[in-house]
Amino acid sequence: MDIIDRRPNPHGKNLENRRRVLQRARSAVQTAVRDAVARGRIREVGQGNAVSVPSDSLHEPSLHRVFSEGVREIVLTGNREFSRGDRLQRPPAGAGGQGSGAGQAGESGGGEDSFRFVLSRDEFLDLFFDDLELPDLLKREISTTENGVPARSGLSNEGAPSHLDLGRTMRRSIARRLGLGRPKPAELQEVEERIAELEALRPASAEDLEELEGLRERRGTLRQRLARIPWVDPVDLRFRRYTIMPQPATRAVMFCIMDVSGSMTERMKDLAKQFFLLLHVFLERRYKKVEIVFIRHAESAEEVDEDAFFHDPRTGGTIVSSALELMHTIQRERFPSANWNIYVAQASDGDNASSDTARTASLLRDDILPAVQYYAYIEITGSGAVIRGETDLWRSYRAIADENDHLAIRQVGDRKEIFPVFRDLFSRQHHSAEA
Amino acid sequence: MDQIVSGGGSPARSGGLLYSGNDWNFQIIRDCYDAIEEIATRELGLEIYTNRVEIITSEQMLDVYTAHGMPVGYKHWSFGKRFIGHENAYRRGLMGLAYEVVINSDPCISYLMEENSATMQALVIAHAAFGHNHFFRNNRLFREWTDPSDILDYLEFARGYIARCEERHGLRAVERVLDAAHALQNQGVNRHSGARKLDLKAEQQRAKERRAYEDSVFNDLWRTLPTEAGDAAGTAEGAHARRLLGLPEENLLYFLEKNAPRLAPWEREIIRIVRMIAQYFYPQPQVKMMNEGCATWVHVYIMRRLHELGRIDDAAYLEVIHSTSNVISQPGFDAGGGASFNPYALGYAMMTDIVRICTEPTAEDREWFPDIAGNGDAIGTLRHAWAEYRDESFIQQFLSPKVIRDFRMFRLSDDTAQPYLLVDAIHDEAGYRDIRRSLARVYDPGTFYTEIEIVDVDLLGDRTLKLEHRTRAGQLLQAGDARQTLDYLASLWGYGVVLQEVDAQTGSVLATHSAGPS
């Protein structure tokens, strides 16, 4: 008998097969991923991502019989109270194969209804953002604030002993010793032995004495050369050189601005939330570090945490410019545009105090847009603020958007529309048109 | 079963404890193996293939599951699907992993999980490396249908061949053939004529020749000809040709490999590979119950003897009892989780009962089993049963009234014309034979395989392939699957395909499925 320990063998034999499954079910998985997001489960994006796809896409058909009518006999175990001739009520249809014995599993037709994938976060997001790209992804600044990473960059002839490249050092040492003709210690030893031998001869012949003389001279040279030509010379030393490479890391900040005034219903907030979450996921994917600032406003604006942002009810009128002002202040103080990629996402029902709209527009055009990378405004339709098919705020934003490519505005009416809007806002086409 | 008379040879020697505690190491495994081997060969007289024990992690166990226990396999998405399914079930705690997997090869490879305790490793060696191994080597079905010495090399060859095809012809082209062949693999076995031995050298030689031929006749000019050309061949010799095709043919993959007009040589070879592997696995479901019963009975016997001989301590033996009783529990029909028979439970119960009948028969046993009751050679009788029977015939021959009573079996008659289910046999004098007959039928390959034959090819017309499924009303093919499978069949055949479902008694056509060429 042989015992073989297979544990150290390479694992993941089935990774290739698993990849092929994903490939085959790609479109189905993609739909499932988008559904998962549309159903508002985006919060789970960071955790385990299980999606179920209809098994059709992975169905393996075969020729097999199913029982539909006639007579069959089923042997079962565990009889307690039945005796011959008892009549039992048929289990209700749709109760599956209950009480129907072995081998009937195919009766429901396709076997399992859906197939569950657990996707890694990267797989999930890759599928989700398959063909999306943020506009103007040229980094504003490649900041080197993150730690540098040492990278090999050739050799140097000085350095710390721990970086000594032994192989190269020895190679050079050998070359030098050969080139300069450093005698081998064995050679010296041989000569010394011969000298000792000759010295021991008594009486010594003239030839021996002559040889002895020659050998002594040779010994002198050898010793001298050995001493003069070191085994390893400082010129041989080679060290691995490391340079600290700046790790290009980019930072982004995302401002979420939302109207929480009385006119915003829960439904509207929910839609806005979807949009913010999507944007966040996307930015998180692009940038190593994404800060989020939540600003809510009604008559006045304040910076809040995420929970309060989405769940704390507020009432009152609406003054949009207060939020923009606050955003601008925070940005200037904490996120200088020289170091940060700045993204702003604003959600509103388009309602604003009519006296405020002009101020909002000028703030946006003159102060905010020049500083930010991208500004997305979504207006959730269904409010009472619509005049001639569009709201006041929408009209003034549209005028600005016509002049500024990095202001994007969209209207959204329903949960389903969130994702298409998002795609639309950040689609590659948009990007290339802009470039 | 405490009074089993050992099956010849001197009883195994006793000795000191093999180990104590839960931890195992390789020396312990080796010692256990030697002690078990002594019992297995001296007392039970088992004949086994050379054993190879491999220790693997749980993750590797999932890999092993995916490939039916085979250590090498070609790449295909369906294996990935199975892998993901197992992985999900395992991660969510719906499924525990087996303690071992053993494959029918020579040498016989048993995979042991590293998580097992020392006792479990010993139990699993007794179960797989001796119980299953003996069964693989001696059961008639395996002897006749499989050639365990070549399978590992053949799988290696298959993987290499398919990988080369993927390089030469592209993933998609290979996947097309594999998908289709997989769909037909249940119809890709010779059920009646036995399998010819695999000959790896010949396989490789043929693959090489096919490739050489392909290369030698390659002429770029041909590529520019329309592919429809050359259809005019079949004329008057239609009937003669049909005879030459060897129709009717039950092995669809074999027929395609030999006769499909539009397949490239490498595609035929891939079909052959799927067919060979399907043929290799063909016997397994037919003897599953006996195979598991045999392995369980052997490990129970061996572990009990180890305990009696003082080689394992009481704690270890309790662990054996605990684990074994989990394996052989048979939930009642109403306990949830399906109502099927647990093959371990039924197999073990029947084999234990055979031992009882041989050593201390009752009057009932003498009436039912006059030839073995009280013959005093329990182990010889078992060895004979393991060698010569399959599940269906084993039940038919050996299911005793006592086992029927112990399991409290009953039979339901399900007549769809009636609004109720009728209990028409229970575990009493009048019901034993009915129950036994019905239960044997569940294990009859004729009931769980669908037999479909190619009956004709329209050689004079549009080359439509005609198939026939002989069945009866109410037992038709699942229509959606049938259509999809026929699509695959048509894509390999290259022309249209028609499948008729015919009533085996009256000959009337019950249903027709068809698929056009893709």
User: Are the C-beta atoms of B304 and B296 separated by less than 8 Å?
Assistant: no
Average pLDDT of chain A to the nearest whole number: 75
pLDDT, tens digit, 9 for 90 and up, residues B223-255: 565 554 444 444 445 566 666 777 778 888 988
Interface of B with A in 298-317 (CB under 8 A): none
Q: What's the pLDDT score for residue B200?
A: 62
Question: What's the confidence (pLDDT) of residue A45?
Answer: 52
Burial tier of A218 (Cβ tally within 10 Å: 0-12, 13-18, 19+):
middle
CA-wise closest residue to A393 among A343, A429, A435, A358 = A358
Instruction: Return d(Cα B180, Cα B484) in angstroms, integer.
Output: 10
Q: With 60 as the cut, is the pLDDT of residue B443 above it? A: yes
Which residue from B50, B341, B426 is facing A79, i.e. has the nearest CB?
A: B426
- Nearest C-alpha of chain A: how many angstroms from B83? 7
CB contact under 8 A, A3 and B471: no
Name which of A20, A75, A99 is nearest B435 (Cβ-Cβ): A75
SS3 B50: coil
> Strands (DSSP E) along B93-171, which ranges?
100-103, 108-113
CB B449 within 8 A of CB B186: yes
Structure tokens at B57: 């992690």
Contact A374, A386 (CB under 8 A): no
- Given B432, B447, B462, which residue is the final one in a domain? B447
Per-residue pLDDT band at A107 (split at 50, 70, 90): very low
Establish how many alpha carbons lie within 13 A of residue B89's alpha carbon, considering only the half-sphere containing its beta carbon.
Answer: 14
Same domain assignment for residues B183 and B297: no
Q: What is the largest CA-CA distance in chain B?
A: 83
For the cut 70, the answer to whether the pLDDT of residue A427 exceeds it is no
Residue in A344, A330, A263 with CA at minimum distance from that of residue A299? A263
B116, B175, B226, B449, B483 from B471: Cα distances, Å:
47, 32, 42, 12, 17
Does residue B198 carry a pLDDT above 80? Answer: no
* A330-358 mean pLDDT: 83
Distance in angstroms (rounded) separating the CA atoms of residues B438 and A165:
79
Which token pair is A214? 């020659």
Chain B residue numbers touching A79 (CB-CB < 8 A): 333, 408-410, 426-427
Q: For domain A251-434, which CATH number applies: 3.40.50.410, 3.30.1370.60, 3.30.2310.20, 3.90.220.20? A: 3.40.50.410
Bridge partners (DSSP) of residue A302 are: A296
Pairing of strands B465-471, B497-503: parallel
Contacts of A115 in chain B (CB under 8 A): 81, 84-85
Specify whether B36 is located in the same domain as B136: yes
Query: B-chain residues within 8 Å CB-CB of A56?
Result: none
Q: What φ, ψ does residue B97 adopt, rounded to 5°?
A: -85, 150
Res A132: pLDDT: 46
Residue contact A76–B411, C-beta within 8 A: yes
Overall domain count for chain B = 4
3-state secondary structure of B109: strand
Q: What is the pLDDT of residue B267?
A: 92
What pLDDT score does B234 carry? 44
The verdict on residue B377 lying in a domain is yes
Q: In chain A, which segments carry CATH 3.40.50.410?
A: 251-434
Q: How far is A66 from chain B (nearest CA, A)?
A: 6
Are the CB atoms for B127 and B174 separated by under 8 Å? no
CA-based max dimension of chain A: 133
Task: Provide the residue type at A79 as one letter.
Answer: N
Residues of B whose CB is below 8 A from A103: 340, 442, 447-448
pTM: 0.68
Per-residue pLDDT, averaged over B376-403, amounts to 92
Nearest residue to B181 (alpha-carbon basis) of B88, B73, B256: B256
Do B477 and A64 make contact, defined as CB atoms within 8 angstroms?
A: yes
Nearest CA in chain A to B446: A65
CB contact under 8 A, B187 and A20: no
Sign of CA dihedral A309, A311, A313, A318: positive
Distances (CA, A) of B94 to A54, B66, B86: 20, 17, 9
Q: Give the closest residue to B295 by CA, choosing from B407, B131, B168.
A: B131
Q: For residue B442, is it within any domain?
A: yes
* Residue B68 sits in the same domain as residue B90: yes
Candidates B76, B88, B412; nearest CB to A76: B412
- Select from A2, A14, A15 the residue whose CB has the most chain B CBs within 10 Å, as the one to mutate to test that interface: A14
- C-alpha to C-alpha distance for B394 and B372, rounded to whole angstroms: 14
Q: How high is the pLDDT of residue B346?
A: 93
For residues A316 and A227, is the Cβ–Cβ distance under 8 A?
A: no
Is the Cβ–Cβ distance between B379 and B385 less than 8 Å? no
In a domain, B458, yes or no: yes
Q: Do A78 and B331 touch (CB under 8 A)?
A: yes
Q: Which of A283-287, A381-385, B99-103 shows the lowest mean pLDDT across its residues?
A: A381-385
The Cα–Cα gap between B130 and B124 comes to 9
Q: Which helix (H) or strand (E) holds B119?
A: helix B118-124
What tokens does B500 get?
Answer: 């008729």
Whether pLDDT at A2 is above 70: yes
Q: Does B499 lie in the same domain as B476?
A: yes
Considering only CB atoms, which chain B residues are within 8 Å of A22? 80
Alpha helices in B312-390 (DSSP H): 314-327, 343-359, 363-368, 378-388
Q: Is the pLDDT of residue B131 over 70?
A: yes
Q: B38: helix, coil or strand? A: helix
Asked if B312 and B268 sit in the same domain, the reply is no
Does residue B305 sit in the same domain as residue B269?
A: no
- The confidence score (pLDDT) of residue B404 equals 93
User: Is the CB of A85 less than 8 angstroms away from the CB of B424?
Assistant: yes
Contact B54 A19 (CB under 8 A): no
Q: Among the listed ranges A199-203, B24-28, B128-132, which one has the minimum average pLDDT value? A: A199-203
Confidence check: pLDDT of A383 > 60: no
What is the per-residue pLDDT across A208-227, written as a single tens digit (0 to 9) for each?
888 888 888 989 999 998 88
Who contacts B376 (Cβ-Cβ below 8 Å, separation ≥6)?
Answer: B5, B358, B359
Task: Look at residues B420, B447, B474 and tell me which one is the last residue of a structural domain.
Answer: B447
Tens of pLDDT, residue by residue over B265-276, are 899 999 999 998
- The token pair that represents A339 in the structure block: 């170091």
| Burial class of A56 by CB neighbour count within 10 A (0 to 12, 13 to 18, 19+) | middle
Query: What is the predicted pLDDT for the residue at A170?
Result: 92
Chain B residues whose beta carbon lies within 8 Å of the beta carbon of residue A97: 338
What percent of the residues of chain A are helix, what percent strand, and what percent coil, each to the nearest 5? 45, 20, 35
Quick check: B351 pLDDT over 70? yes
Query: What does the alpha-carbon distance between residue B44 and residue B381 come to, in Å, rounded to a whole number?
Result: 11
Q: Which residue has the tokens 């294990």?
A: B443
A101 contacts B340? CB cut-off 8 A = yes
CB burial of residue B52 (10 Å; 0-12, 13-18, 19+): middle
Secondary structure (DSSP) of B394-427: HHHHH--HHHHHHHT-EEEEEETTSSEEEEEE-S
Give the model confidence (pLDDT) of B276-286 as tens digits: 888 888 888 88
Is residue B92 domain-shared with residue B155, that is, in the same domain? Answer: no
pLDDT per residue as tens digits for the range A46-95:
455 677 777 777 888 888 888 888 888 888 888 888 888 888 887 765 44
Provide the angle, in degrees to the nearest 10, between the axes of the packed helices A415-426 and A266-286: 30
Half-sphere exposure (Cβ direction) of A337: Cα atoms closer than 13 Å: 16
Please indicate if any CB of chain A lies within 8 Å of the CB of B62.
yes
Question: Three-class SS of residue B168?
Answer: helix
- Whether pLDDT at A418 is above 80: no
Check whether residue B138 and residue B159 sit in a common domain. no
Which of B395, B420, B447 is the last residue before a domain boundary?
B447
Structure tokens given for B201: 């050298």
Q: Please give the Cα distance from B335 to B313 (Å, whole number).
A: 35
B350-379: average pLDDT: 91
Distance CA B53, CA B37 (A): 13
To test the contact with chain B by mutation, choose from A2, A69, A73 the residue with the greatest count of B C-beta atoms within 10 A, namely: A73
HSE-CB for A44 with a 13 A CA cutoff = 17
**Which H or E element spans position B376?**
none
Query: Smallest Cβ distance to A14: which of B66, B428, B430?
Result: B66
Q: DSSP 3-state assignment of B452?
A: strand
Question: Nearest Cβ partner of A99 from B333, B408, B452?
Answer: B333
Q: Give pLDDT, residue A197.
A: 86
Residue B311 lies in a domain: yes
Torsion of CA B393, B347, B24, A13, to 10 degrees: 60
Q: Which of A245-259, B58-72, B416-430 has the highest mean pLDDT?
A: B416-430
Whole-number pLDDT of residue B5:
43
Q: Report the C-alpha gap between B318 and B322 in whole angstroms.
A: 6
- Whether residue B226 is contained in a domain is answered as no
- Give the burial class of A338: count Cβ atoms within 10 A of its Cβ; 0-12 exposed, 13-18 middle, 19 or more buried: exposed
Instruction: In whole angstroms, give the CA distance from residue A330 to residue B40.
Output: 81
Q: Are B268 and B494 in contact (CB under 8 A)?
A: no
CA atoms of B288 and B243, how far apart (whole Å): 38
| Gap between the Cα atoms of B178 and B185, Å rounded | 10
pLDDT value for A108: 34
Query: Are residues B436 and B454 located together in one domain of the fold?
Result: no
DSSP string, A88-112: EEPPPTTSTTTTS-TT-GGGGSSS-
Tell me the one-letter amino acid at A266.
Answer: E
Residue A425 tokens read as 């806002």
The answer to whether residues B194 and B263 belong to one domain is yes
Please tell me the distance from the alpha carbon of residue A226 to that of residue B231, in angstroms, as a whole number: 91
A87–B407 CB contact, under 8 Å: no
**Residue A431 has what pLDDT?**
42
ipTM: 0.78
For position A93, what pLDDT does the model report?
56
- Count A/B contacts: CB-CB distance under 8 Å: 262
In which domain, by residue range, is B313 found? 26-146+285-327
